[in-house]
Structures are given as structure tokens and as C-alpha cells.
Amino acid sequence: MSWTKDFFIYLSQNNVLNSGAKKWGLKLGAQSVVAGTNLTEMIESVKELNSHGISCTIDNLGEFVSEKSEATAAKKEILSVIEAIHEHQVDAHISLKPTQLGLGIDYQFCLDTLREIVAKAQEYNIFINIDMEDYKNLQPSFDLFDELLKEYDNVGTVIQAYFHNAVKNIEKYKDQRLRLVKGAYKESEEVAYQDKKEIDNNLLKLIEYHLLSGKFTSIATHDHRIIHQVKEFVKENNISKDKFEFQMLYGFRKEMQLALAKEGYNFCTYVPYGDDWYGYFMRRLAERPQNLTLVGKQVFNKKTNTAIAVAAGAFLLGRLTKGKKKK
């Protein structure tokens, strides 16, 4: 794993920067990476994307809550998003994180919360995607998914290519709608690939398997090389464009998003909103540091750059100290 990925993961866990990001909000330039800080702003952003033939998956930002009251508040917000999608008749569905809904507090509480959300979404024929997070929460999240599949057919999940067990999981869930991603958390070499080439190769392996054997595939990447290879693969194997979509994050590679939609590919933009955006954004940079050049100038101002410089110094000092101890 490169030091740049380690660094951005380190920043994502920096409470000072996270608090500052919430405080500065739009003044910091958060609108470059999130589609608004409230429901009204987010819906307008979705309508704009829809006008270009782009569908959306909406994420009410937040994760790893420690109180049931926080999880209940998140549930109410997500239910409001479902109502807003129906009311405004926008082309969108929901992505949500189990830890935001209490997975780390109580499994049954989280499952009951998810059931309420998925049931409401089913009333309006709205799809719910269960996002995957770090390895600690991986199997519990799959367990939640398994329980929901017993009752609902409007739910899917995510397979992260950097995990060693990704192939096993995609084989298990080949009959489900899946989003395929590289993976953005810091994981040990015991459970996850560390080399970029290995991760890229595994992602392509997963994509090709699910396109040939599975249901609808969401290919979530900003990597133009992987996108090109997917285009060639579907042509060579006569795979209909109705079987898959490309996905990218709101605010990233906008021209490519529009170009893919104009080329006739199904395209979906991952639309996060809310003020808890900092950790999410840092992990996107950890996943692909090149993303920094795509939105960095719009997001970081002098105050933030100073804070990041201090954090970078602490990070590098920690690495040097750790290196000396090893010697």
C-alpha cells in the first residue's frame, strides 16, 4: 500500500479536520464534492443530472454512529429522501451504510431499521443499495443483506475488489444486483490486496464474471483504463448495455460522466449530501489519489491547506518514528 493511500486514510480519521470541515461547510467548497447540505439542495442537483440522462444513487452522509438516537435520525432522513424521490419523480435510488443505522450498536436494531427503510422504498419501487465498509463490518453487513433478501427484491450490495474473498462473495451473490468497486478503507494484507495492479486485475475479473453470469452490474470507477477495457469486453461478448451501468462520484470527472451518457451507456452518479462529508472525501482520495487533481483546487483553501500540512507533518513523523523502532 502506498504512503499516499495511508496518508489520506490518516486524514479521514483526523477529528480536528473533520470538525473543521463540518464547521466551514460550503465556505470550504464542499459543494464540489457533495450535492448540497440538505434535502432540497440535493434534489435540485439530482434533477440537473437527470436532465443530462444521468441517474443517481443518493447517500445521506454519515457512518459509525455510537448512539441509537443518531441512527434513528439517519433513518428518518433516509425515509424523507425516499418520499422526495417519489414526490419529485426523479431517476434515483438510495445507497446507505449499515454503520450509520446502528450496526456497531446492536445488530437486531440495525436490521429492524433497514427493514423499515427497504419496505418503504419497495412501496414506491425504489432500489436500496447496501454499501460495504471496513473489514470488521463486512460479514455483519452481508448477514444483514442475506436477511433482507428473504423478504425484499429491491435491494443490492457492493463487492470490494481489494478483499481476498471478493471472488467467493460475487459467486454467492451472482443473482443479485451488485456494485463493483476497488475498495477505499485501510485493510491489512491478511484480508486485502495491497498492490494496485492486483486490485485492478481483481476488479476486472469481478466485472467480467458478473457481466457474464449475474444480474445488473454497477461498475463504479473513475479509472479510464478500466472503463475502456469494459467497453471492449462488452463488445467482444455481445453484452447488452441494459445489463450494466458505469458509476462515478458527484463532482469527479464530470466531462467523462456526460460523455459516457451521450455514448448511450447507462450512467449513474453517486450523490452524497449533508455536512458529514470530510471522511468520505478523504477515502475517495485514498482510493485514487489522482482524484485530488480533479477537485482539489475547488475544495481546499488556505486554512485547510495549513491544517493538512500540520497533519502531514504528524503523519510523516509517525512513519519515521515507526521506521526507527523497527530498526
* pLDDT at residue 102, as a whole number: 97
Query: Is 195 noted as a catalytic residue in this protein?
Result: no
Alpha helices in the chain (DSSP H): 3-12, 15-24, 39-50, 68-88, 107-123, 138-149, 166-172, 196-213, 224-236, 254-262, 278-287, 291-299, 302-326
* pLDDT at residue 32, as a whole number: 74
Q: d(Cα 133, Cα 145) in Å, to the nearest integer?
A: 13
* pLDDT at residue 252, as a whole number: 87
* pLDDT at residue 307, as a whole number: 46
* pLDDT at residue 92, as a whole number: 98
For the chain, residues classed under CATH 3.20.20.220 are 34-276
pTM over 0.85: no
Distance between the two ends of the chain, CA-based, in angstroms? 20
pLDDT in tens, 30-65: 567 789 889 999 999 999 999 999 999 999 998 778
Q: d(Cα 156, Cα 136) in Å, to the nearest integer?
A: 20
Looking at 6, 59, 177, 179, which residue is catalytic?
A: 179
Looking at 59, 131, 200, 276, which residue is catalytic?
A: 131
DSSP-assigned beta bridge partners for residue 244: 217
Angle between helices 254-262 and 224-236 (to 10 degrees): 10
Q: Which residue has the cell 438510495?
A: 94
SS3 label, residue 128: strand
Q: Has domain 34-276 been given CATH number 3.40.50.1100?
A: no
Q: d(Cα 226, Cα 247) in Å, to the nearest integer?
A: 12
pLDDT tens for the chain, 327 residues: list them: 455 666 666 665 666 666 665 666 555 555 677 898 899 999 999 999 999 999 999 999 987 789 999 999 999 999 999 999 999 999 999 999 999 999 999 999 999 999 999 999 999 999 999 999 999 999 999 999 999 999 999 999 999 999 999 999 999 999 999 999 999 888 999 999 999 999 999 999 999 999 999 799 999 999 999 999 999 999 999 999 999 999 999 988 999 999 999 999 999 999 999 877 776 777 666 665 555 555 555 454 444 444 444 444 444 445 444 554 555
- Rounded to whole angstroms, what are the CA distances from 20 to 45, 121, 212? 24, 34, 46
Q: Are 180 and 206 in contact (CB under 8 A)?
A: yes
Query: Is 59 noted as a catalytic residue in this protein?
Result: no
Amino acid at 272: P
